Structure 1
Amino acid sequence: MSSAQERAKALAQEMKRAIMEAKTAEARAKRLGDEVLLALAEAKKEAETVSTIVEYPIGRYECKQCGVGSIFSQTYRELPACDNCGSREYVGAEPTITKITPPPPKKYSSGMYECTGCRTRIVLAEDTDELSPCDVCGAYKLRAV
C-alpha cells in the first residue's frame, strides 16, 4: 500500500472518530438543554412561591386532628407541629397573605434561544433586557426555540 493511501485510510478513521464524538456531544447538548429548561421552569415556580408571604398571627389555635389548644406568641410563616399528634393543621386566626408585586417583565425571558446567523442554541439563565452576542458568530439576533 502506498503512503498516500495509508494516510487517507488513517484520516478516514480519524474523521469517523470525530463524527462519533460530534454525535455524542450533540446528544449531550440536547440532554443538557432539556435539563436547563426543566431547571428554569422550577426556578420560575420558586420565584412565584416567594412572591406570596403567608403569616399566621399571634393567638390561640386548636389542632384539627386532636383538638389540643395552643397559644402562639409570635407570628409564623408555617405553623409548628402539634405537640400532641404532630399535625400542622389548626383552627384559629386566619393568616395574613401578602402578595409581592414582581418587577415589570424583561424583554427576553429565560429559556432556550437560537442564533439566526449560525443556528447555535443559546441558553438565557435569567430574564434580561439586553442580549449578549452569539458565542460562535457574534450576531445579536436570537429567536426563541
Structure 2
Amino acid sequence: MPATDMPAVPFVEVVVVGALDAAAIPRMRVQLEDAAALRPVHMVVDLADCPRLDAAGIDLLVSVHRAVWSSGGRLTLRGMSSRLYRLLALARVDRVLQTAPTPAGYEPRHRSPGTSGRTEAAGTECSQRDDEVRWWETAATG
C-alpha cells in the first residue's frame, strides 16, 4: 500500500440524526465522503438516531465502506435498531458491513450527559481533538 493511502487519522465518528433515505443522501453523501477522505483507521457511523434506511442509504454506506477499506481502515455501523439490522440482512450486506451495538451508558463526546444531542440549529459541526475528528449532523429545524 503506498504511503499516501495509509490511514491518516485513528478515529472518525459520524452521528446520523434522521432518516438515511433518498431525500437525505445529497447532504449525507458529502458528510460521509468527507469523513472517509480523512483516511481513518476506524470510522464509526452512529445510527442510533436514524429511524429509517432505504436502498439509497444502504448504497451510500456500502460506498463509504469501500472508500474506508481501500485506504486501509474499517467502517463500523453502531447503535442500529433491529429494523435497520433486518434491512441490511434483506439487502444481503449484513456480512459486508460491520455492526456494533451502542454500549450501555454511551454518550458521544460531543453530547452533554442526559441530552439527546440534538440542537436547534441546522447544519453540520465538527470537533477535532489532537488526532481524532468527530463529525455529526445537527437536527434540522422545522
TM-score scaled by structure 1?
Answer: 0.18
Which structure ranks higher in relative contact order (CA pairs < 8 Å, sequence separation ≥ 6)? 2
Larger Rg: 1
TM-score scaled by structure 2?
Answer: 0.18
Structure with higher strand content: 2
